[in-house]
């Protein structure tokens, strides 16, 4: 939900005639806006025979709040139903193991006493050093943001509208508050300027244009980088030159532009966060973002025509080419550090209480909780034949089965994060050498198609039984989509571009507008994305070494959406 304060504007205009004529208008505004975002992750948890969720409150600070999460189960990709052929959304289900699981938030507030570092009393991991909740915002997030801005725009026409000019200025300030950690940021400010001119050419219906603008991007939320530092405001410039068409009495209209843009301190999400800052025993060290600089240029052509009454065709052709202007190399952090002690000459996992460290005891037979208790030793964690073998992620070294091993027991984790991966206590050696190259100066930028084409056909009925109905077909084609860069270990670690296959997608839509009464107008809209349901399996490579990471569907499957509107 978004709440916005009133926008106040004032407009002034004046024209005169001498040897030249000028008309101008000025519009000013002020805006005060408050917004908030609340996000939660939900999972299925085991219940007892009475239907109550099984929970060990002594483990309220583990990642599942002391509950038993439903084990993974194989299902088809993009299933239409849940396991057991249960329709989504279901509040409970029966797993193939015969147990019943109920849907609940993974992390919830007011579970433990409130503290300065955990003002909402969230369940889940707490840093033993700072006492602050280490729950990620993707699992539980509650952010408040206030933005205030003011500015003006001025429009002028010269020489009997042969030349049109525009200038705009905007100043903005933002303050952010992350409720679950009491983290505050701001106020942060930035200014932006937009200028442009459109002018007639000797060819009737053909006009030229030149534009220049500066822009900024406040990172309004409290997301931090991997080093747990606030993200600076982004800024950039854009320049373009082009032509505007209105030919053959506007039967063909559109524009052609060449643009150049430069960006500094722009924000991106980590492509492989768990590879560099995994959510370990002690949580993560920082946030899921970093800043970078880049430049890009390209051409854009848009043409619209009306072959018949009611039928409109729009064609768009765009090219893009960008290069990096900064090198971003991120270290791999070790966030799984645990306490240790010695028993019988062996190093074992320890549980710290005050200044004393006692050995962590586990059942000698993990399948029999009543079996004799023994200390969990490092040799057991390293032995592939041990029932307590630690399963390490092949890229980050994170202990994936830490909860099963009992290593999420309060007092086991030291609370320290951000250690170099070379301090891994189980001898893990990173295949990428302890760091990950995310971006490199001079490399091609990623996240877009080098060439993109689209054509939209739209037809509106203006008579008969179908009067008020609009139908449309949108067809898009992408070539050389730059997905991401990766290191090819099989080719001496060379940096290479991973390209998505060329893609063609058809979408259709229909809009029907009608008036049920004299006071009311209504509309119903049906959108069908990927109407032909075309798809293929996409094999993704690991960015650290170029080996196969996983496979997924390339396109989203066919999707229907219906929107209704009522106005009075």
Each of the 568 residues of the chain gets a pLDDT tens digit; together they read 233 333 333 333 333 344 456 678 899 999 999 988 888 999 999 999 999 999 999 889 888 999 999 887 877 776 777 787 787 778 888 888 889 999 999 999 999 999 988 999 999 988 776 788 888 777 898 888 888 999 999 999 988 889 999 999 999 888 888 898 888 887 888 889 999 999 999 988 899 999 999 987 766 556 678 888 878 888 899 999 999 988 777 788 999 999 999 988 888 888 778 889 998 998 888 888 888 899 999 999 999 998 888 899 999 999 999 999 999 999 999 999 999 999 999 999 999 988 899 999 999 988 888 899 999 999 999 999 999 999 999 889 999 999 889 998 888 999 899 999 999 999 999 988 898 888 889 999 988 999 999 999 999 998 888 888 999 999 999 999 999 888 888 998 888 999 999 999 999 999 999 888 888 899 999 999 999 999 999 999 988 788 888 888 899 889 999 999 988 8
> Which of 92, 91, 95 lies closest to 75, judged by CA?
95
Give φ, ψ of 61 to 5 degrees: -95, 15
Contact in structure between 487 and 546 (CB atoms under 8 Å):
yes
**pLDDT tens figures, 226-266:** 888 878 888 899 999 999 988 777 788 999 999 999 988 88
**For tokens 């919830």, what's the residue?**
108
Sequence-ordered list of residues with C-beta below 8 angstroms from that of 281, at least 6 positions apart, any chain: 335, 336, 337, 338, 399, 402, 407, 408, 412, 413
Rg, Å, the chain Cα set: 30
Please report, rounded to a whole number, the percentage of residues in the chain having pLDDT higher than 70. 95
Letter string b/e over residues 212-238, b meaning 16 or more CB atoms within 10 A of that residue's CB:
ebebbbbbbbbbbbbeeebbebbbbeb
> Which alpha helices (DSSP H) does 341-440 contain, by range?
378-382, 402-405
CA distances from 532 to 78, 401, 502, 505 (A): 16, 42, 16, 8
In terms of residues, how long is the chain? 568
Q: How far apart are CA 69 and CA 67, in angstroms?
A: 6
Q: How far apart are CA 295 and CA 485, in angstroms?
A: 17
First to last CA, the chain: 22
Contact in structure between 159 and 21 (CB atoms under 8 Å):
yes
How many separate helices (H) and strands (E) can be counted in the chain?
3, 32
Q: pLDDT value at position 14?
A: 39
Q: What pTM value is reported for the model?
A: 0.68
Token representation of residue 417: 């994060």
3-state secondary structure of 421: helix
Contact in structure between 412 and 339 (CB atoms under 8 Å):
yes
State the DSSP code for 83.
G
Domain ranges of the chain: 41-135, 338-413, 452-568
Token representation of residue 71: 């084990």
> Which of 443, 547, 432 lies closest to 485, judged by CA?
443
Q: How far apart are CA 494 and CA 124, in angstroms?
A: 41
Q: How far apart are CA 293 and CA 441, in angstroms?
A: 9
């Amino acid at each position: 939900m978004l709440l916005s304060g009133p926008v106040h504007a004032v407009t002034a205009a004046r024209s005169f005639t001498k040897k030249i004529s000028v008309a101008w208008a000025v519009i000013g505004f002020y805006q005060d806006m408050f917004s908030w975002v609340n996000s939660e992750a939900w999972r299925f948890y085991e219940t007892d025979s009475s239907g109550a969720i099984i929970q060990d409150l002594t483990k309220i600070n583990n990642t599942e709040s002391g509950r038993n999460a439903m084990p993974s189960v194989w299902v088809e990709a993009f299933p239409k139903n849940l396991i057991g052929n249960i329709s989504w959304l279901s509040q409970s289900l029966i797993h193939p193991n015969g147990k019943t699981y109920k849907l609940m938030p993974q992390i919830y507030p007011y579970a433990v006493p409130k503290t300065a570092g955990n003002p909402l009393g969230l369940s889940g991991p707490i840093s033993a050093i700072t006492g602050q909740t280490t729950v990620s915002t993707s699992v539980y997030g509650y952010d408040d943001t206030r933005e205030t801005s003011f500015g003006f725009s001025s429009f002028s026409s010269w020489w009997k509208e042969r030349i049109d000019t525009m200038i705009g200025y905007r100043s903005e300030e933002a303050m952010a508050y992350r409720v679950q950690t009491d983290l505050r940021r701001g106020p942060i400010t930035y200014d932006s300027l937009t200028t442009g001119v459109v002018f007639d050419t000797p060819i009737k219906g053909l006009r030229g244009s030149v534009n220049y603008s500066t822009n900024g991007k406040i990172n309004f939320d409290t997301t931090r980088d991997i080093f747990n530092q606030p993200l600076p405001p982004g800024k950039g410039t854009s320049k373009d030159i082009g032509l505007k068409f209105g030919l053959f009495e506007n039967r063909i209209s559109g524009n052609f532009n060449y643009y150049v843009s430069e960006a500094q301190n722009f924000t991106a999400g980590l492509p492989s966060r768990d590879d560099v800052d995994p959510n370990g025993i002690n949580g993560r060290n920082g946030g899921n973002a970093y800043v970078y600089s880049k430049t890009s240029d390209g051409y854009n052509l848009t043409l619209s025509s009306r072959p018949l009454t009611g039928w409109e065709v729009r064609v768009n052709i765009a090219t893009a080419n960008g290069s990096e202007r900064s090198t971003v190399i991120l270290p791999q952090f070790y966030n799984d550090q645990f306490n240790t002690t010695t028993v019988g000459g062996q190093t074992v996992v320890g549980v710290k209480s005050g200044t004393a460290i006692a050995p962590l005891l586990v059942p000698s037979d993990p399948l029999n909780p009543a079996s004799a208790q023994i200390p969990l030793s490092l040799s057991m964690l390293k032995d592939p034949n041990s029932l307590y073998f630690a399963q390490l992620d092949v890229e980050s070294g994170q202990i994936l089965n830490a909860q099963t091993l009992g290593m999420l027991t309060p007092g086991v984790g030291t609370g320290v994060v951000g250690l170099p991966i070379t301090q891994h206590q189980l001898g893990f050696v990173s295949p990428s050498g302890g760091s990950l190259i995310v971006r490199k100066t001079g490399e091609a930028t990623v996240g877009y198609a080098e060439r993109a084409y689209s054509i939209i056909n739209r037809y509106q009925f203006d008579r008969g039984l179908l009067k008020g109905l609009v139908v449309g077909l949108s067809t898009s084609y992408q070539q050389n989509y730059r997905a991401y860069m990766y290191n090819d270990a099989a080719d001496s670690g060379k940096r290479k571009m991973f390209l998505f296959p060329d893609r063609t997608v058809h979408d259709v839509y229909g809009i029907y507008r009608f008036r049920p009464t004299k006071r009311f107008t209504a509309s119903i809209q049906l959108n069908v994305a990927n109407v032909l349901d075309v798809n293929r399996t996409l094999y993704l490579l690991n960015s650290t070494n170029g080996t196969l990471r996983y496979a997924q569907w390339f396109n989203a499957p066919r999707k229907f959406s219906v929107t209704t509107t009522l106005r009075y």
